[in-house]
């Protein structure tokens, strides 16, 4: 048994000695081809003319593929089927792969793609939340709205109301090992795929679909990754499919890895959000109602944006009991990389919205932000020895006898640490949070009798 025993990581000696093998460390057979994408220089428009003759004549180039040369549409999407491997005539974001080069070395492929001559017919891209809303550019027929209670009535009756907007940027995953794949053709058209991916099964599905192979004709191996954080859940599909297409067409092994500049240009990031809110509360800071409107910029393809946006809605209460809550979510289609999975998967965006609300409430009342948070926590779960359990805890059952535990025949029950919670707040704690003398610079907004409450507007911006 490994429980309670310190055990070294099975690959720790390999990691610290530099012997751990990643995709780019795997020795390749003679004749292996190296791939690179030629990328779009504009965010939105159509390709009027493409001249790849200089690319084909570049040193080391073996073959060049456009969308029309592929064995299928080679869809890379994890959801809607709206991400072709190569753009075709229509361009949807700056950095979108337009053509594929196979050469005798990584450097030769990278140099060759820069020799392309492409003429575009540009159109105005949809980039911002406001532009997307004005164009009604979205991935669903309208916003998704989830409600608990009647937030509008509760806001109208609340003693105090604040309103504001918080804008949070996306982030680059910046895994130490970039996106990479190596495909070795096998007998009878089968493929062996080495991929730095968080989702080997999806790689198998996508490669098989692109080459019209049965699933058992594609074997995917992922020994380890040098970081992923969600950025290798679906973003590795394109590299694996490209390598498989080249391997199938030439009968030679094919390898692809993005240099960091291409990686950051092609792949999706965390969804950035704009969240607008109105919150009603009493003089103790206890929330009566919150109305959120969440705007997520999802990029050019759907990817995993719908469940990410759903989770942002589900986390909009975080740890706080809000009697009346309304959350409206807009999943906007924009001419950027397709935003994708990132640690927390929408949860951090939703939680940051309500945390901003509570900070705003604390500032309006001149109270300690922690005190306001504690006033709004969901009720504490019942003690572990309570007959009915807690909010989400199973019903308590009789634990093992002390004799059974002493003889090693049973494990002890979980320790009750509820008494260790920190209730008292020292002055040092207040000072460390900057909450001392946090008097508001304006009167607390009070709802006039018989009318709507006055709204104080506030903007907060968190840069990426």
- 346-381 pLDDT, tens digit each: 999 999 999 999 999 999 999 999 999 999 999 854
pLDDT at 133 > cutoff 50? yes
Amino acid 314: pLDDT: 97
Q: How confident is the model at residue 393 (pLDDT cuts 50, 70, 90)?
A: very low
pLDDT at 428 > cutoff 80? no
Amino acid 390: pLDDT: 47
Stretch 70-99: mean pLDDT: 97
Q: What one-character-per-residue DSSP string does 313-350 give?
A: HHTTTTTB--SEEEEEEEEE--SS------TTTTHHHH
CA proximity to 323, closest of 147, 143, 145: 147
Comparing 142 with 383, which gets the higher pLDDT? 142
Amino acid 6: pLDDT: 85
Comparing 331 with 404, which gets the higher pLDDT? 331
* Highest-scoring range by mean pLDDT, 262-266, 396-400, 437-441: 262-266
Of 1-5, 59-63, 115-119, 296-300, the least confident:
1-5
* Highest-scoring range by mean pLDDT, 8-17, 92-101, 385-394: 92-101
pLDDT in tens, 66-82: 999 999 999 999 999 99
pLDDT at 452 > cutoff 60? no
CA proximity to 272, closest of 129, 142, 135: 129
Query: Do 432 and 418 touch, CB atoms closer than 8 A?
Result: no
Q: Which domains does the chain have, with CATH numbers?
A: 25-122 (3.90.1170.50), 129-171+269-375 (3.30.365.10), 173-260 (3.30.365.10)
Residue 328 structure tokens? 């409206």
- For residue 293, what are the β-bridge partners? 276, 328
Amino acid 457: pLDDT: 46
- 40 exposure class (CB count in 10 Å sphere: 0-12, 13-18, 19+): buried
Amino acid 352: pLDDT: 98
Amino acid 219: pLDDT: 98
Q: For residue 46, which phi and psi values (nearest 5 degrees)? A: -130, 155
CA proximity to 310, closest of 268, 350, 270: 350
Angstrom distance (rounded) from CA 51 to CA 41: 15
Stretch 24-52: mean pLDDT: 98
Amino acid 262: pLDDT: 96
pLDDT at 14 > cutoff 90? yes
Stretch 166-179: mean pLDDT: 97
Angstrom distance (rounded) from CA 310 to CA 345: 9
Query: Do 237 and 203 touch, CB atoms closer than 8 A?
Result: yes
Of 18-32, 127-141, 320-334, 429-443, the least confident:
429-443
Stretch 442-450: mean pLDDT: 55
Quote the mean pLDDT of the chain.
89
Query: Do 83 and 301 touch, CB atoms closer than 8 A?
Result: yes
Query: Do 446 and 454 touch, CB atoms closer than 8 A?
Result: yes
* Four-CA torsion 402, 406, 408, 411, nearest 10 degrees: 40
pLDDT at 234 > cutoff 60? yes
Amino acid 355: pLDDT: 98
Amino acid 3: pLDDT: 79
pTM: 0.85
What angle separates helix 369-376 from helix 347-365, to the nearest 10 degrees?
A: 120
Amino acid 455: pLDDT: 41
Residue 263 structure tokens? 């990686």
How many secondary structure helices (H) and strands (E) does the chain include? 13, 16
Query: Do 361 and 279 touch, CB atoms closer than 8 A?
Result: yes
Amino acid 439: pLDDT: 54
Compute how many other C-beta atoms are within 10 angstroms of the C-beta atom of residue 171: 16
Amino acid 321: pLDDT: 96
Angstrom distance (rounded) from CA 308 to CA 269: 12
Stretch 184-210: mean pLDDT: 98
pLDDT at 220 > cutoff 70? yes
């Amino acid at each position: 048994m490994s429980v309670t025993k310190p055990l070294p990581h099975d690959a720790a000696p390999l990691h610290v000695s530099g012997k751990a093998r990643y995709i780019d460390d795997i020795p390749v057979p003679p004749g292996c081809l190296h791939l690179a994408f030629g990328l779009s220089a504009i965010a939105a428009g159509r390709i009027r003319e493409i001249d790849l003759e200089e690319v084909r004549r570049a040193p080391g180039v073996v073959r060049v593929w456009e969308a029309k040369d592929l064995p299928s549409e080679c869809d890379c999407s994890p959801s809607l089927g709206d991400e072709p491997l190569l753009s075709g005539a229509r361009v949807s974001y700056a950095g979108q792969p337009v053509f594929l080069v196979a050469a005798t070395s990584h450097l030769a492929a990278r140099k060759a793609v820069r020799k392309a001559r492409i003429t575009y017919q540009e159109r105005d891209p949809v980039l911002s939340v406001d532009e997307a809303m004005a164009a009604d550019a979205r991935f669903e027929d309208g916003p998704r709205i989830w409600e608990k209670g009647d937030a509008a009535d509760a806001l109208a009756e609340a003693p105090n109301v604040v309103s504001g907007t918080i804008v949070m940027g996306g982030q680059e995953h910046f895994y130490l090992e970039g996106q990479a794949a190596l495909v070795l053709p096998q007998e009878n058209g089968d493929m062996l795929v080495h991929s730095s991916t968080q989702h080997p099964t999806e790689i198998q599905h996508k490669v098989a679909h692109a080459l019209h192979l049965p699933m058992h004709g594609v074997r995917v191996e992922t020994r380890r990754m040098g970081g992923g954080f969600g950025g290798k859940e679906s973003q590795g599909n394109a590299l694996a499919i490209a390598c498989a297409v080249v391997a199938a067409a030439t009968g030679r092994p094919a390898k692809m890895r993005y240099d960091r500049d291409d990686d950051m240009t092609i792949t999706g990031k965390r969804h950035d959000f704009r969240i607008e809110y109105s919150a009603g509360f009493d003089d103790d800071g206890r929330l009566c109602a919150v109305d959120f409107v969440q705007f997520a910029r999802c990029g050019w393809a759907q990817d995993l944006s719908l469940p990410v946006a759903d989770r942002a809605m589900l986390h909009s209460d975080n740890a706080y009991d809000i009697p009346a809550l309304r959350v409206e979510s807009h999943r906007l289609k924009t001419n950027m990389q397709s935003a994708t999975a990132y640690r927390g998967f929408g949860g951090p965006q939703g939680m940051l919205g309500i945390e901003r609300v509570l900070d705003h409430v604390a500032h309006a009342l001149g109270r300690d932000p922690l005190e306001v948070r504690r006033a709004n926590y969901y009720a504490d779960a019942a003690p572990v020895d309570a007959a009915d359990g807690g909010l989400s805890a199973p019903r308590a059952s009789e634990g093992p006898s002390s004799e059974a535990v002493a003889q090693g025949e049973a494990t002890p029950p979980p320790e009750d640490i509820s008494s260790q919670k920190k209730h008292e707040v020292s002055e040092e704690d207040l000072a460390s949070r900057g909450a001392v003398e946090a008097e508001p610079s304006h009167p607390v907004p009070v709802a006039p009798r018989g009318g709507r409450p006055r709204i104080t507007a506030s903007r907060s911006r968190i840069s990426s």
